[in-house]
Every structure is written in structure tokens, then in C-alpha cells.
Chains A and B, each alone.
Chain A
Amino acid sequence: MSSRERILGRVRRALADSPGEDTPIERAYLREHGDRSVEQTVELLAENLADYRAIVHRCTAADLPATLAGMLAARGAKTVLVPPGLEQAWLADADAEQIPDRAVTTPHELDRIDSVVTACAVAVAETGTIVLDGGPDQGRRRITLVPDHHICVVRVPDQVVSSIPQALEQLDPARPLTWISGPSATSDIELDRVEGVHGPRTLEVVLVGSQSSAEVNS
């Protein structure tokens, strides 16, 4: 008998005495917490991102190229990794050398790149989370992992949802997803939080909308 049959047989025997009725799951929990306007939801996203030590910027679509160029310059980034479908205009003003995300690039090569700029699939306000789904403007999972500096552009309010249940509804499980809430962190040493063990130590999020440009923090 194969182990598959053995395990399934054991499971079936273990359940033989239990009534197999299908009572529906009681989902009495909330779809979102609180009652907020769209602008308040975006505000909450900014607050929660900052609370988890992401650096948050806000600007209009027109200001985005200048904002990104300024952020890369402030960091002293000489090279920036670019996913294949990122809007070209976004990095039009940037001085850093643009390196396309290519399948043949080795992890060691990625490790030598200063920054990466991506879009996102959805952002969750209540938890301060951005979710990447590997779409053309976000690129492979590894490009937001190996370089030490990740800039993520979120279109507000279109890409912002309130809650985890709303985010899951919008995401395609068949895609490889990465949920990011603040930069890499550990609390393994006497529970002191230290940023950046393995992932990027700096996460900057740009909320792009129609509002006038204003830095939330930096």
C-alpha cells in the first residue's frame, strides 16, 4: 500500500465516528473595521505604513518623476532596477542608471544594485500592507528582495482597500504574491526590533494621487 493510501485510510478511519455534516462557516466578522471616507482610508494607509517604519511620500501624478528622481538622488543610488512594465515616464528624471529586470540576472548581480522601483497590485490601509503580484510593473519576486532599497508606488485611491478580506477578493491566487508591511525586521534578540535582516532595510512608499504634493514623513 502506498503512503498516500495509508494516510488517507487512517484519516478516514479516524473520522468514521464523526458526523460529516456540512454546517456553513459562521462569518460574523467584519469586512472592514470602521466607517471611513476614501480620503480617510488613504490617510490610514499612510499612518500605518509609517508606523511600521516605511517612509511615506505623497505626490500628484505630474510630480511623480521629480519625486522619484529626488528620492533616488537623496539615497545616492547609482543603479536602479526596473521591472519590464514600469511606466517609462516615472523614471524619466532619474539620474541613476536603469537596469532592466532580466531572468538571466544572477542573485549576486542583483545584490550589487542600489535600489528598485516598482508599482503594486493593491495596498491595505488597516494593516499598512502593500501587495505585489508579479505583474509587469512589479517584476519578479526577487527584485524587491535582494537590493537594500525598495521604492513602491501606490496609486491612490484606486489601489487602496481597507482590509485584508477586501484585498484577498482582489488578488489572483494563481500569481506569486508578496505582502509587505514595513521593511524586513527581527525581534529575535531580546525582543529589540531591528530593521532589515535579509530583505531591504529601507522601504519607501509613494502615494500618487491628485492631491497636492506633501511629505507625510521622511
Chain B
Amino acid sequence: MSGTFVGMPAFPEAAHEAVNNPTLRGNLRHATHTIRAKREKAVAEVSDWAQLREAGKQIKDHTLRHLDRYLVQLEESVMAAGGTVHWAADADEANDIVTQLVKMTGESEVVKVKSMATQEIGLNEALEAEGIRAYETDLAELIVQLGKDRPSHILVPAIHRNRGEIRDIFEREMSEWGRPAPEGLSDTPAELAEAARLHLREKFLRAKVGISGANFMVADTGTLVVVESEGNGRMCLTLPETLISVVGIEKIVPTWQDLEVFLQTLPRSSTAERMNPYTSTWTGTTDEDGPGTFHLVLLDNGRSDTLADEVGRQALRCIRCSACLNVCPVYERAGGHAYGSVYPGPIGAILSPQLRGTGSEIDASLPYASTLCGACYEVCPVAIDIPEVLVHLRERIVQGGPVVHEGNKVVLKPAKGHAAERAAMRAARWAFAHPGALRTGQRLASRTRRLHPRTLPGPGKAWSDTRDLPPVPAEPFRDWWQRTGGGKEGGK
């Protein structure tokens, strides 16, 4: 997987820097706590949340288990609806396909609706190298792009920036890219949004090529779905003559009906709304309504390798709602950049090392970027057991063992330089093998919260040297699980 943040230090060092940046911590804390509280209210509004969550999990598991079948079905239905389907085994191939498609149109600029898949493959950079300029049109992505920055949150990529910083970026950079910021721009969100509207509208109205991702692809109808708030998605999906969508192969749902689950759980989990302002669906092309040419690029880039891991594959259920980021005590302190990939937070900690393999220092350290408190699992609308995958990946890194890399079985050597973690793992394995001890340990931890040290003793010291220990949750996850029958009673 390209798009690895080049020269990225391992998580502990990267996080250390973030933890010592008070502005960043302040921005992040405010943001995650606000969304978290809103999400709880939005979820409480629907009495059948637990059933929706279970159905979402089952639909995604079922899809993954028959992914070959659904991919072929999707390809057929997209083609029948007038689209063209391309298959990309890795980032380079996907970038090549998209670059060629853009070149065929004769255009040298494209408008983009926020897409994690295209960030993952480093598409903007690849296009730039071929003389094609890609404009990000999501307000937050615009802030990130103009600021020559990296996104730090799935949903609010510029979450680490406050209004003053955003004004400065607009004033300094907008003229480089097109319409300059208005004179005397203030730092009120309304004025900043207006400046972005004017700056981007100029680009939307002349754009001939749009590039998007998709939240869902429906196998039986060939429909793609984009869920958004600002309308920049609608602009990119509607106004250009050519639309190119780059989508991970795991984004399939089998039937039109399945959308009824995710269109209920995604908005509430992500922006804590009953429904996001705009959802667009398109099935191939429609005469005189929207792009006359539609290309779908199906992206593997490590996903089939992830699918080969029976424990880890559940990460492919992810619908990128970002709820797990907002509840994660480690993310709250370390920020998104520390994860060194486009997928930050708990999901990033399990997805990136699987998509990219654990060869690099950052990827080998990601499964340790967690306290295993279980909050991420609790909020996940498709019930991904992130702690389970974290422990599984830690074990694999420490002990080595068989993994699948680019479709081939290889044996991973035990990681060097993880002596402390190896010791910690032995303890963890013992605890997981002795559920009684684990339970007692967690209960004890909960009850003695106020007495907790800021660093860990013994083998954990190296680990906590570079991390602030988060508070232990008021109720151990295990107790919550038992009390609510595994979340089925919707308890929190």
C-alpha cells in the first residue's frame, strides 16, 4: 500500500509529539467529546439499535464470506447499467488506471469528493506527477489540502485545526489554487465556509471529470451510494461529464434492501444525525442526468490479504463512521497523524497493519496504540471486535507466524525490538487464557481508578514512557457486556 506516510516514526514517537501539543489536544478533546455526546443521543432515539447493529454485522459478514460471488454480480450489474468496471490489485495499478482514464478525457484537472480509498493509494500525488491537478472539495479536505497537511480524522479530517489556523491557511493559500480568499476574511465559521463556497464553486462549474469513492455498492442493482453533508459530493457526482469512482472491494452490500440498515446506522454513528443532509445514489449512467461516462475501479490493495485472516477479516466490515475514534482515549490524546495512515484511531490500528503488512516500524507499533478498554467495540455499528483483533495482531507481530501477503502465504518472523511487548504479551495471553483472572483484574482496575499511576510499572514501562495512561472506564467492559446481554439491551 503506498500512501504510507513517508518517514513516519512509530506510533509511540509520533504520539509523544502530539501529546505535548496543547492546541492540538484542546481541539481534539473538544471535538471528540462533542460528537461523542451527540452520538449517544442519536443512538438512544432508535429503540432497535442493537438489532440494527446485529443485522449490519451479519450482512457484512455474509458479503465477505461470498465476496467473489458478489464482486462478479456487481460487475455485471454495473456494466448492464452502462458503467465500465476496472480491477486494481494494488495502489499503483489503481493510480495508473485513473490517470489513463483522466488523460483519455484530455483534461488536466479533476474535482474530488472526499474518498479514503483514493487517499490510501495516494491518487492526488500520482495525478500530480502526470500533470493533472486534483481539487479536494470537501471543506475539511480543502483545509487539509491548502495547508499541505494530512487528514487526521475520518469524518472531520481537519479536526486538529481551529478557526484561526483555518483563516490563515485560506488567506495564504487560496490564491495559489484559484479564487483567492475575500478581503478581510474573519475567522467565523460562516465566513470561512462562504470563502470555501466561492473558491470551490468556480471549480465545480467548469469541471469535466469527477473522482469519488463510495460508501456502498449494491451488488444486485449495480448502485453506488455516497453519503455526505455539504453538497460537494453531489456537485462531483452530477456536474462533470466523466465520473470515476475508486472503491474498496469490501464496500459491497448484496441487495438494495440491505441499505435500510446502513442508512440508519451510518449517519447516527458518524455525525450523530438522524440523517445526513445529502445521499446520492447512481446506477451506471442515466441519459442527460449526470455524467455520461462512468468508471468503477474496484480496489484490492491488501483487502484480500486481510480477508485471509479469520480473526482480522472483521475489520473489512467497517463502514468508516468514525465513532470508534471519538471514544478512544488514545486517539483523543495522540491525534490522527500519529497513526501514520489515512485510517486513524482504533480502526486504523487494526486496518493499516493488515492492509500494509507489519513490515514497517509504524505498522508493527499500531496494534499497541490501544488500551484495550473496549469502548471502540461498544460504539461500532457493525460490531467489529477491535480489541480482539488488536490482541491477535500483537500476538502475530511478537510471535510471528503465517500470514498472506499479496495473495501468497508467507511466514512472518517474530519482531525484533519488541522485548517489552513480548513480555507484556505473555502476561496478556495468560490473562486471556484465564478469564477469571482477567475479570478480577479489570474490576480491580475500575475500582481503584483514582489511584492509578501515570506510567506502568515493570515491562510496561517502556510502553507508557511515551504515552499518557487513559482513565480506566467506570464500568469494566465485561460487566457491561453481561449486564446488557452483549449490547442487545442497548445499555451503555
Q: A residues within 8 Å of B by Cβ?
A: 2-4, 6-15, 17-18, 20, 22-23, 25-30, 33, 48, 52, 103, 106-108, 111, 124, 126-129, 134, 140-142, 145-146, 164-165, 168-169, 173-192, 194, 196-200
Contacts and interface: CB of A to CB of B under 8 A. Distances in A.
Contact of A190 (B189, B218, B237, B280): B189
Interface in B232-279: 232, 234-235, 237-239, 249, 256-261, 263-264, 271, 273-279
Contacts of B67: 11, 15
Contact of A17 (B87, B234, B310): B310
Interface in B89-105: 89, 93
B437 interface: no
B107 interface: no
A88 B260 CA distance: 35
Given A9-B407, A168-B259, A18 B279 contact: no
Given A173-B256, A175-B286, A178-B280, 12 more contacts: A6-B407, A14-B305, A14-B313, A129-B275, A168-B259, A173-B223, A177-B281, A181-B274, A186-B139, A191-B34, A199-B278, A200-B231
19 contacts: A3-B89, A6-B407, A8-B72, A11-B67, A23-B62, A25-B55, A28-B51, A29-B261, A52-B273, A141-B289, A145-B234, A145-B239, A173-B256, A175-B283, A178-B279, A185-B277, A188-B157, A190-B162, A194-B193
Contacts of B280: 141, 176-179
B281 A173 contact: yes
Chain A CB within 10 A, most for which of B67, B143, B289, B290: B289
Interface in B161-177: 162-163, 166
Interface stretch (B194-202, B339-347, B362-370, B381-389): B194-202
B46 A33 contact: yes
Given A3-B87, A7-B249, A15-B65, A180 B278 contact: yes
B289 A176 contact: yes
The secondary-structure label for the interface of chain B is helix
Contacts of A142: 238-239, 289-290
Contacts of A33: 46-48
A169 B279 CA distance: 16
A140 to B, nearest CB: 5
Given A29-B52, A198-B232, A184 B65 contact: no
Interface in B405-443: 407
B165 to A, nearest CB: 10
B197 to A, nearest CB: 6
B325 interface: no
Contacts of A168: 256-257, 259-260, 263
Contacts of A177: 279-281
A185 B31 contact: no
A186 B260 contact: no
A145 B289 CA distance: 13
B325 to A, nearest CB: 14
A198 B236 CA distance: 11
Contacts of A181: 273-278
A30 B45 CA distance: 13
Interface string B122-149: 0000000000000001111001000000
- CB-based closest 5 A-B pairs: A199-B231, A198-B231, A14-B308, A10-B304, A127-B275
A176 B283 contact: yes
A189 B231 contact: no
B229 A176 contact: no
B239 A8 contact: no
Interface in B63-114: 65-68, 71-72, 81, 87-89, 93
A134 B290 CA distance: 11
B204 interface: yes
Nearest to A16: B308
Contacts of B407: 6, 9-10, 13
**Interface core residue of B140, B166, B281 (most chain A CB under 10 Å):** B281
A20 B66 contact: yes
A176 B238 CA distance: 10
B378 interface: no
A38 B464 CA distance: 59
A191 B286 CA distance: 36
B200 A198 contact: yes
A15 B259 CA distance: 25
Nearest to B218: A173
A14 B298 contact: no
Given A29-B52, A140-B288, A197-B231, A187 B271 contact: yes
B445 interface: no
Contacts of B158: 188-189
Contacts of A22: 62
Given A2-B87, A198-B201, A185 B229 contact: yes
A184 B278 contact: yes
Contacts of A146: 205, 239
Contacts of B260: 164-165, 168
Given A168-B259, A185-B229, A187-B229, A199 B277 contact: yes
B59 A174 contact: no
B458 to A, nearest CB: 38
A190 B221 contact: no
Contacts of B274: 48, 52, 126-128, 181
B30 A8 contact: no
A197 to B, nearest CB: 4
A153 to B, nearest CB: 19
